[in-house]
Amino acid sequence: MKLLYISLAGLAATAAMTAFMYLLTVLTKRVMKMIKILGTMLTNQTQPDGSLSGSIRASVTGTVVHYAIGILFAIGYLALWDSGVGAPTAAWGFLLGLGHGLLAMAGWYFYFMLHPQPPLIALRPFLLSLIFAHTVFGIVASYVFYLLAHPAHSFWR
């Protein structure tokens, strides 16, 4: 049952993180659409002018890979909790999300550096935003898992 709960938590957390990044796109007028960036890079469909791909293939690829990675990281959270590192609480969700965000920032940085034709985006703001987006992920993943696994107890302690 735990695997189902953490998978659902990973899906919810990935959706929340993605929504956060899309909101930043609207507010800052910068390209922060993680799914489109990921899909464009994975399918090697960066446009000649450096913009993101609008293809269905890139969107589907980006979506599937992004959500799969979200589930895998949520499973990693569960592995940590089950081994005695942290617990599904708001504070631990924030800390795990922060650490996860730093890993994601480094991973994306190297992916952009190694990719043969990355899209032309403002990389520094995108990478810094990933840290905040992943803290959202950590809190939401912890909260959803906690609600599913312990519906009668207090999360916000």
DSSP code at position 49: T
pLDDT digits (tens, 9 = 90+) for 107-120: 999 999 999 999 99
- Write out residues in the chain with pLDDT < 70, as ranges: 153-157
Q: What is the pLDDT of residue 152?
A: 72
- For residue 31 the two structure tokens come to 């390209």
CA distance 142 to 157: 13
Q: Report pTM.
A: 0.92
Q: What is the pLDDT of residue 151?
A: 72
CA dihedral 43→49→50→56, nearest 10 degrees, is: -30
Residues 6+ apart with CB under 8 A from 118: 41, 46, 111, 112
Q: What is the pLDDT of residue 46?
A: 96
Where are the chain's structural domains?
2-149
Long-range pairs of 76-83 with CB within 8 A, sequence gap ≥ 24: 77/6, 77/138, 77/141, 77/142, 77/145, 78/2, 78/3, 78/6, 78/145, 82/2
Q: How far is CA 12 from CA 68, 74, 102, 133, 144, in A?
A: 12, 10, 20, 13, 7
Q: What is the pLDDT of residue 156?
A: 58
